[in-house]
Amino acid sequence: MSDIILETRDLTKHYGGVHALEGANFVLRNGEHVAIMGDNGAGKSTFVRQITGVEQRTRGEIIFDGKPVNFSGPLDAREAGIEAVFQTLALADHLDVPDNLFLGREKTKFDWLGPFRLLDYKAMREDTLAALEKTGVKIPNIRNTIQNMSGGQRQCVAIARTASFHSKLTIMDEPTAALGVQETAQVENIIRTLKDQGEPLVLISHNMRQVMDLVDRIIVFRRGRIVANLNKNETDGQDVVAYITGAKTQPEYDVEGVA
Amino acid sequence: MADHADGIGGLKYDRSKRAWPNEMNIFIALVLIVAVFEALGQILPYMDGQSFLFDTNDRFDTIFNEARLRIIILQVAIIGIISLGVTQVIISGGIDLSSGPLTAATAMIVMSFAQTELVNGNPNPAAVFGPWAMDLPVIVPVIVGLCFGAFIGSINGSLIAFTRIPPFIATLGMFLICRGIAQWWTRGQPVSFPTEGYAWLGSGMMPVIWFVLLAILCHVLLRYTVYGKHTYAIGSNEDAARMSGINVKRHKVMVYMIASMLAAFAAIVLSSKNLTAQSGMGLFYELYAIAMAVIGGVSLQGGRGSIIGTVLGAMVFGVIQSGFTYVKLDAYFQIMAMGFIIISAVVLDQWRQQRAASRS
């Protein structure tokens, strides 16, 4: 049991009459990388929003790290160890890379000074360089403020930030949607680093090649329901597309009325 | 790690394209403004070739006109102290309009704890309290003042952080409340005749010394402490700051408290310098303090600015004021010209920001 980091049982979210998510049963094991795929409006982002506490679920249970949890907000989830990289980035534009990487958990000296304790810039810079070096991120100058960076560099900083804090679970919602080829490669490098470190990941992506390259398992959502749970080695792109478009549904997920 | 200074991941980093510090622009502007006044002094026929900056009449040992320089820095020192706090508030994405009236209210209250019992052998004619509050050690009024500032600041901050009313409204309300307190305290009577110890606090060049010391302290706070980093983060992206686990509400209260304590200290120095406190003092100080910060490159959108910039902004402010008097500009035009300069400073800064953004 301790092997399972995240489990949802009958997770359901209704927006008024819209059943955005219906009875999702999902299990993620430690060290496992899982992709969530599906058409627009299939319920992928809704699913993630329930887990990260951005929204409150209508019904169902979330068991994280062996305990049932009830996050009242994203900060709660983060404190419990769930790091999420959203499509809208949470970076401070006027601060540089180390400042953003260590925001809220700065390295300090003279801690007895309380809120006025001194920042250890040198240590933070060195750790930043080490973290970025390891993940292969290219940034001309880490002292540059975020506002002077390209979209890809910002995304890399946001993800490197997530990756460098050894959270118990990382969730990425379309991390490469707006990126160029090189930048996408950098983000994928970071994801591989997480895999090597044995940190579990939930990846939402539309990019079939990326998913096939990076993850162990693919969950397909359609019309608010999970319709397939595929091991990467036992499937291929065409198969997955068939599930996404509704041409196929795995028998165990075949619920009457949804086909 | 030094070999990484040129960028990581194989990207070249061109040092010559390093961001030009904003403070340099303000410094250049300051030098230019001095040069313009100097030139005006030579050109304008009614000036008799007087110099703005230099000692042409051999009144001083140095080459500079020390009297004028002294007046300039003395003039800006007290509002400058307020501006140090206002800078922090604006960087955190807020605004503080209450600092001027807070100065008046604090001065009134503090002064009534700093009076002497006897003036030239007679009882103090402006006494507010009985003999128990007379001839107290100087530390008493200072602590009373700082506590009052902290109290008002914590109300400002709590209103903004917990009721989510806009900082403009919260501090506008406090603006009126403080002016009211200043007038109610002695029913409009001035409070005068401080103890010798208290009078020392603002005597001679003391205001400038306080300004410099506090500027250094605030610079260290903003640049080198967690407090400062979080202040910038909140002003830059409040949601990101909250998501990063920063206690945004508590931090805002702290920022407003520090700002109001600085304003209260300015009130102490001001009342000590004037040897009296009046309910009408500190008129427009809140606006001048904001103007100094804005001239110094502090962005009203939050997240950008520095104490060095604000100190330079204060100097620009003082030089312009003194320069207007020097070229004998009518006092009425002086205020109008000041407004014009504040607007131009912001327009210039925005224009520069846009240019910098389009270049990168």
The neighbouring-strand residues paired with A67 are: A64
Q: Say yes or no for a CB contact (<8 Å) between B8 and A94.
A: no
Q: Is the Cβ pair B226, A116 closer than 8 Å?
A: yes
Interface ipTM: 0.79
User: Which tens digit of pLDDT belongs to each residue from B263-279?
Assistant: 999 999 999 999 999 99
Whether residue B126 has pLDDT greater than 90: no
Residues from chain A contacting residue B237 (CB–CB below 8 Å): 90-93
| CB nearest to B236's CB, from A93, A119, A125 | A93
C-beta atoms of A119 and B225 within 8 A: yes
Q: In A7-81, where does DSSP find H-type helix? A: 44-51, 74-80
Smallest Cα distance from B151 to chain A, Å: 19
Residue B18's SS3 state is: coil
Strand-pair category, A67-68 with A118-119:
unpaired
What pLDDT band is residue B1 in, cutting at 50, 70 and 90?
Answer: very low
Q: Residue B104, Cβ neighbours under 10 Å: how many?
A: 26
The C-alpha angle B74, B79, B85, rounded to 5 degrees, equals 130
- pLDDT reported for residue B239: 86
Position B247: which residue type? Answer: N
Strands A33-38, A82-85: parallel, antiparallel or unpaired by DSSP? unpaired
Q: What is the helix (H) or strand (E) element at residue B270, kind and residue range?
A: helix B248-274
Partners of residue A75 in chain B, C-beta under 8 Å: 242-243, 245
3-class DSSP assignment, residue A45: helix
Test the B interface: residue of A54, A85, A88, A94 with most B CBs within 10 Å: A94
Average pLDDT, integer, range A37-43: 88
Q: What is the mean pLDDT of residues A6-22?
A: 90
Using a CB–CB cutoff of 8 Å, tell me whether B225 touches chain A.
yes
> What is the per-residue pLDDT across A151-177, written as a single tens digit (0 to 9) for each?
778 888 888 887 777 778 889 888 888
Pick from B318, B266, B232: nearest CA to B37: B318
Residue B179 has pLDDT above 70, yes or no: yes
- Residue A109's closest chain B neighbor by CA? B225
CA neighbor of B113 nearest in space, from B207, B189, B195:
B195
Closest CA of chain A from B357, distance in Å: 7
**B25: which strand partners?**
none
**Segment B201-243, tens digit of pLDDT:** 999 899 999 999 999 999 999 999 999 999 999 999 998 888 7
Distance (Å, whole) CA B261 – CA B277: 18
Sequence ranges of the domains in chain B: 22-44+62-353
Domains of chain A: 4-87+150-253 (3.40.50.300)
Tell me which chain B residues have a C-beta less than 8 angstroms from the C-beta of A116: 221, 225-227
Per the listing, tokens 């006044």 go with B37
Q: Compare CB distances from B8 to A89, A90, A129 and report the shortest one's residue.
A: A129
Fold of B22-44+62-353: ABC transporter involved in vitamin B12 uptake, BtuC (1.10.3470)
